[in-house]
């Protein structure tokens, strides 16, 4: 079990230190949380990409790369994601842990210096980011947007969510819109940078075996210089579907993609446990109802699985089907939901799912990335539950809890990606 220490550095800025000798690497990440906004989504995505590229101390990628080589081949990267109604912009640096440096060098401290340089001292002149960097990063983010369409399974899920959450924050694209990205000026991007420094919630995470106080004080000092007015996390609201939306899209595909989006009122942080277990039994395991019935017994699809979003209580079922079997597959998926709503779940199914989720919780501590993602999610929910505590709560869920959960899951959207005829 990893030991975690957390301290609030200043308004809306939280620092967490995970003390572990389990890993040969160390990592520091800084994550900005901002409310999802169609107006700012593209600029947020472009900004974090620009910040990862250079700063006043290292004015180009070559200089930055040389510095990372000196730090035992340190890696600097960024990630763009969302949880519920919040945009998350991650910037992180990782390298070998101090235990494995020559002459016991303070590698983690140097890593934190680089991260602070990138975040607090970017390459800016006359209140504008460097034009050449911005132009290059526009192309990079635009290519990221285009690349998602090559994986039709990913594309279908994105399209279903856009239709299901139309006019809601959860429906805003994580990367923004390509047309918006191309219109962003370097000066406007600097305004967005200032906005994020002032208004975001921030989570800094450090995983290492070495002492953390110097790193903590460095970030505390830099954020204390900013006049911050951050937002408060708010839970998503449950919106009952008034009618089922049916969306058909045609592209050049051999295998049709069926995605079904459901809503549930289980949107409180403590609802995560019953929704996790219910979704696992429904379609999250090789022994799940959807896999065993829709795919194996009835042979209606190539794959059929479910996933859920604990932040807005949504559940999605995705399946690869032949067009002729799409309606039958949809009906059997709804039939399996009805069966679970009627408490016709066996003790063996429940125990298999509990064992699976217990193993999943244990595996989180097997990687730094897993631990960082876990505690980022906890932070955005206002929780500090460990993976072990999560597994303990899962073990106490009853058959009646599962029935109550699944009986409140309502179909909202059916998306179908078909081939051109």
Sign, CA dihedral 129-118-42-224, equals: negative
Average pLDDT over residues 312-336: 94
Which whole-number Å values give the CA distances from 377 to 54, 129, 207, 414, 418, in the listed order?
28, 31, 16, 28, 35
* pLDDT at residue 269, rounded to an integer: 72
* pLDDT at residue 1, rounded to an integer: 62
CA distance 55 to 61: 9
- Strand 314-321 relative to strand 303-309: parallel, antiparallel, unpaired? antiparallel
**Per-residue pLDDT for 143 more than 80?**
yes
Compute the radius of gyration of the chain from its Cα atoms. 23
Q: Which of 89, 82, 87, 109 is nearest to 97 (CA)?
A: 109
Residue 60 burial by Cβ neighbours in a 10 Å radius (0-12, 13-18, 19+): middle
32-41, 294-303, 335-344: least confident range: 335-344
Q: For residue 150, what are its two tokens?
A: 């090559």
Cα–Cα–Cα angle for 86, 89, 92, rounded to 5 degrees: 145
**Per-residue pLDDT for 411 more than 70?**
yes
- pLDDT (tens digit, 9 = 90+) per residue, 201-224? 999 999 999 889 999 999 999 999
Q: For residue 43, what are its two tokens?
A: 């600029």
Higher pLDDT: 270 or 272? It is 272
Average pLDDT over residues 10-39: 92
For residues 172 and 236, the answer to whether their CB atoms sit within 8 Å is: no
How many H helices and E strands in the chain? 15, 13
Which residues are registered as beta bridge partners of 83?
86
- pLDDT (tens digit, 9 = 90+) per residue, 154-186? 999 999 999 999 989 999 999 999 999 999 999
**Per-residue pLDDT for 11 more than 90?**
no
- pLDDT (tens digit, 9 = 90+) per residue, 64-106? 999 999 999 999 999 999 988 899 999 999 999 999 998 888 9
CA distance 52 to 192: 15
DSSP code per residue over 252-308: S-SSEEEEEEEE-S--SGGGHHHHHHHHIIIIISTTSHIIIIIIIIS---SEEEEEE
Share of the chain above pLDDT 90, in %: 77
CATH ID of 245-419, from 3.30.830.10, 3.40.50.300, 3.30.70.940, 3.20.20.70: 3.30.830.10
Instruction: Label residue 247 by pLDDT band (50, 70, 90).
Output: very high
Within 13 Å and on the Cβ side, how many CA atoms surround 156? 28
* pLDDT at residue 218, rounded to an integer: 96
Which residues are registered as beta bridge partners of 306?
317
What average pLDDT is seen over the chain?
92
Within 13 Å and on the Cβ side, how many CA atoms surround 118? 31
CB atoms within 10 A of CB 231: 13
For residues 386 and 1, the answer to whether their CB atoms sit within 8 Å is: yes
CA distance 14 to 30: 10
Which residues are registered as beta bridge partners of 258?
319, 416
Domain with CATH 3.30.830.10 in the chain: 3-224, 245-419
- pLDDT (tens digit, 9 = 90+) per residue, 104-134? 889 999 999 999 999 999 999 999 999 999 9
Q: For residue 279, what are its two tokens?
A: 């979704």
* pLDDT at residue 421, rounded to an integer: 62
Residue 411: which residues within 8 A CB-CB, separation 6 or more? 241, 244, 260, 261, 262, 334
Reading across the β-sheet that carries 75-83, which strands appear in turn?
3-10, 13-19, 201-208, 25-35, 86-96, 75-83
Q: E strands of 37-150, at which residues?
A: 75-83, 86-96, 124-125, 128-129
Q: For residue 16, what are its two tokens?
A: 């967490």
Residues 146-184: b if buried by 16+ CB within 10 A, e if exposed: eeeeeebeebbbbbbbbbbbeeebbebbbbbebebbeeb
Rounded to two decimals, what is the model's pTM? 0.92
As its CATH architecture, domain 3-224 has: 2-Layer Sandwich (3.30)
Segment holding 7, helix H or strand E: strand 3-10
Highest mean pLDDT among 250-254, 397-401, 413-417: 413-417
Instruction: Label residue 267 by pLDDT band (50, 70, 90).
Output: confident
């Amino acid at each position: 079990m990893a030991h975690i220490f957390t301290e609030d550095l200043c308004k809306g800025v939280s620092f967490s230190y995970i003390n572990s000798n389990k890993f040969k690497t160390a990592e520091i990440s800084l994550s900005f949380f901002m409310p999802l906004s169609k107006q700012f989504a593209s600029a947020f995505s472009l900004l974090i990409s620009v910040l990862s590229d250079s700063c006043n101390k290292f004015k180009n990628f070559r200089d930055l790369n040389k510095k990372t080589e000196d730090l035992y081949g340190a890696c600097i990267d960024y990630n763009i994601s969302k949880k519920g109604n919040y945009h998350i912009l991650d910037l992180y640096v990782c390298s070998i842990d101090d235990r494995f440096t020559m002459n016991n060098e303070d590698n983690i401290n140097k890593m934190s210096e680089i991260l602070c340089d990138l975040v607090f001292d970017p390459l800016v002149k006359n209140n504008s980011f460097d034009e050449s960097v911005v132009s290059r990063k526009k192309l990079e983010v635009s290519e990221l947007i285009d690349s998602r369409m090559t994986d039709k399974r990913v594309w279908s899920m994105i399209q279903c969510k856009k239709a299901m959450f139309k006019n809601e924050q959860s429906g805003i694209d994580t990367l923004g819109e390509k047309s918006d990205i191309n219109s962003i000026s370097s000066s406007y991007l600097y305004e967005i940078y200032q906005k994020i420094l002032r208004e975001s919630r921030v989570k800094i995470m450090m995983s290492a075996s070495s002492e953390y106080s110097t790193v903590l004080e460095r970030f505390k000092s830099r954020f204390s210089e900013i006049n911050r007015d951050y937002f408060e996390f708010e839970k998503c609201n449950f919106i009952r579907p008034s009618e089922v939306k049916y969306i058909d899209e045609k592209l050049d595909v051999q295998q049709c993609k069926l995605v079904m989006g459901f809503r549930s009122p289980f949107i409180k942080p403590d609802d995560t446990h019953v929704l996790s277990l219910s979704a696992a039994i429904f379609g999250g395991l090789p022994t799940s109802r959807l896999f065993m019935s829709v795919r194996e017994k009835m042979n209606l699809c190539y794959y059929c699985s479910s996933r859920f979003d604990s932040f807005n209580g949504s559940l999605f079922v995705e399946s690869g089907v032949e067009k002729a079997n799409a309606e039958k597959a949809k009906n059997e998926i709804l039939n399996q939901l009805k069966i679970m709503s009627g408490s016709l779940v066996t003790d063996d199914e429940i125990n298999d799912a509990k064992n699976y989720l217990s193993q999943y919780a244990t595996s989180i501590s097997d990687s730094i990335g897993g631990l960082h993602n876990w505690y980022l999610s906890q932070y955005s929910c206002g929780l500090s539950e460990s993976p072990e505590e999560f597994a303990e709560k899962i073990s106490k869920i009853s058959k009646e809890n599962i029935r109550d959960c699944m009986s409140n899951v309502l179909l909202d959207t059916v998306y179908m990606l078909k081939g051109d005829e």
